[in-house]
Structure 1
Amino acid sequence: MPSVHEAPEPPVILDRRDGPHGETVLRRSGTRLQIIANGCFLMDTSDGGSERLLVRATLDELDGRPRPAVLLGGLGVGFSLAEAADEPRWGRITVVEREQAVIDWHQDGPLGELSATARADARTEIVHADLLEHLRDTEARFDALCLDIDNGPDWTVTEDNRPLYSPTGLAACRARLTPGGVLAVWSAQPSPRFEAALREHGFLRVRSAEIPVARGVPDVVHFATRPA
């Protein structure tokens, strides 16, 4: 019988991919699946509370708009998609994920059981693309953009995520929103500088909400609304 003082087993790497944005790793640590990008922990399957709250709070910001279309920036471990698909009030649900590895892990890999029901929902579309490029290229409009692609505006895992939070990126987000539409951006920490940038680029009702987590400082969601 194992000793109660026995050290936990080390994480096990299930898959490792090299792509245009660097290395992406899926590993198992105990019962949790973790996504690591370029050596930086991104997310795991331990909770999902902040990802789900991001989607719920965004719907509340829309003040009862019927069947709003939502774009989710980042598939991750699937919590945001699952939350959106669990809510019948959402209309079209588009997920933009730039890492083919992450999509594969959902379609044919260990993350599949977490997102199977949501992926099968007739409202759901998963797009393999860089988020900023997709915002520039698509003609679709959305009532909400829920972006959770990094650790936040001030702490990007890769430099090529930074343009999303730049004037060019904010302009692309605003262009894709319907009048009165809501931009929601997850962050590991508050960013007064990002909030100031949102105001400077024409967004209204700019605010942040703290999301309590089990350990450590709260996560943050930045909200902003395109003028009607």
Structure 2
Amino acid sequence: MTTAYDASHNSHDSPEVIDRREGPYGEVVLRRHGGLLQIIANGCFLMDTSDGRSERRLVDAALGALNRPDGPARLDGRTGPEVLIGGLGVGFSLAHAAAEPRWGRITVAEREQAIIDWHRSGPLAELSADALADPRTAIIEVDLVTYVNETSDTYDALCLDIDNGPEWTVTQGNESLYSEAGLTACARVLRPGGVLAVWSAKPSPDFARTLRNAGFQQVRTEEIPVARGVPDVVHLAVRPG
């Protein structure tokens, strides 16, 4: 997720590279720029620690959709709805989910070992340490596209935040995730009545149509106000019961 820069830091300061890794998907860099931590992948700015409202809204929107009287997921004896978060990033989504006692199991799929390390023993631990210590939480190192096609696990909600939206993917291989076939794979990891929530830097009517073509119901879009420019959005859809 691309996040707006915090105007409080000096844009003329040079970012400090804290760690640089070469992994199976290319180069990943953690930088400090003023008071912010930034993640850069293959030279593309992904996200920083400036805000987090979009990540928090993504998680809240999924939980709110599960609690709607017209289509809640059945818990079948579980202590709370179980959520799969696609993408660890700087940890805002994970931390917000873990701060919500209504969630049950919280699983994060992250394909970059470097990002996992920065949370477990690096500078990003300041954002996620409490969440990682929560017994409900687990991080699995896996590409989400592979995971939704191969896992036998199922969840009540799937929150996707691995790209800047269906029309602005970070890596070319992610494009398939937002196709009808990719969304069908997402549906297979959702229990009946389960919610898919997808963050996007802008609304996408085409993506909403693809969600419906993939069999999802109650498709809608929630806007997230930003400091300037077009609002971020969360696309929401429900797997039929």
Separation of aligned partners in 2, 1:138 and 1:118: 24
Distance 2:231 2:42 in 1: 24
1:12 aligns with 2:16: yes
Q: Which residue of 1 aligns with 2:4?
A: none
Quick one: distance in 1 between partners of 2:200 and 2:163? 8
CA distance in 2, matches of 1:207, 1:19: 36
Counterpart of 1:146 in structure 2 is 159
Which residue does the alignment assign to 2:26?
22
Map 1:182-193 → 2, pairs under 5 A: 182-193=195-206
Shift of 1:142: 0.5
- Report if the CA contact (8 A) 2:181-2:214 is conserved: no
| Equivalent position amino acid for 1:26 in 2 | L
Deviation, structure 1 residue 7: 7.1
TM-score by structure 2 length?
0.89
- Counterpart check, 1:38 vs 2:42: yes
Partner of 2:60: 56
Secondary structure of 2:17 counterpart: strand
Query: In the alignment, residue 30 of structure 1 is paired with which amino acid?
Result: G
Q: 1:123 to 1:8 in 2, by over 3 A?
A: same
For the pair 1:108 / 2:121, whether they are aligned, the reply is yes
SS at match of 1:77: coil
Q: Does 1:94 align with 2:98?
A: no
Distance across 1 between alignment mates of 2:230 and 2:202: 8
**In the alignment, which residue of structure 1 is the partner of 2:7?**
none
How many angstroms apart in 1 are the aligned matches of 2:48 and 2:233? Answer: 17
The equivalent residue for 2:226 is 213
Alignment of structure 1 residues 153-192 onto 2, 5 Å: 153-192=166-205
Shift of 1:37: 1.3
Q: Could you tell me which residue of structure 2 aligns to residue 85 of structure 1?
A: 98
How many aligned positions are there?
223
Give the secondary-structure state (helix, strand or coil) at the position aligned to 2:13.
Answer: coil
Shift, 1:193, TM fit: 1.0
In 1, the alpha carbon distance for the partners of 2:11 and 2:178 equals 41
CA contact under 8 A between 2:221 and 2:234: conserved in structure 1? yes
Q: Which letter maps to 2:154?
A: R
Q: Give the C-alpha shift of residue 8 in structure 1.
A: 3.5
Give the whole-Å Cα distance in 2 for the aligned partners of 1:89 and 1:114: 20
SS at match of 1:55: helix
- Determine whether 1:224 maps to 2:237: yes
Identity, in percent, stands at 65
Paired letter, 2:47: M
Runs of 4+ in 1 over 4 A off after TM superposition: none
Whole-Å Cα distance in 2 between the matches of residues 125 and 162 of structure 1?
26
TM-score if structure 1 supplies the norm length? 0.94
User: Could you tell me which residue of structure 2 aligns to residue 3 of structure 1?
Assistant: none
The code of the aligned residue for 2:237 comes to A
RMSD: 1.3
**Cα shift readout 1:13-49 (whole Å, capped 9, x = no counterpart):** 1111112212111111100001111211111101101
Task: Note if contact 1:38-1:157 (Cα within 8 Å) is conserved in structure 2.
Answer: no
Q: Secondary structure at the match of 2:104?
A: coil
Letter in 2 for 1:134: Y
Contact 1:145 1:184 in 2 (8 A): yes
Aligned pair partner of 2:82 in 54, 58, 69:
69
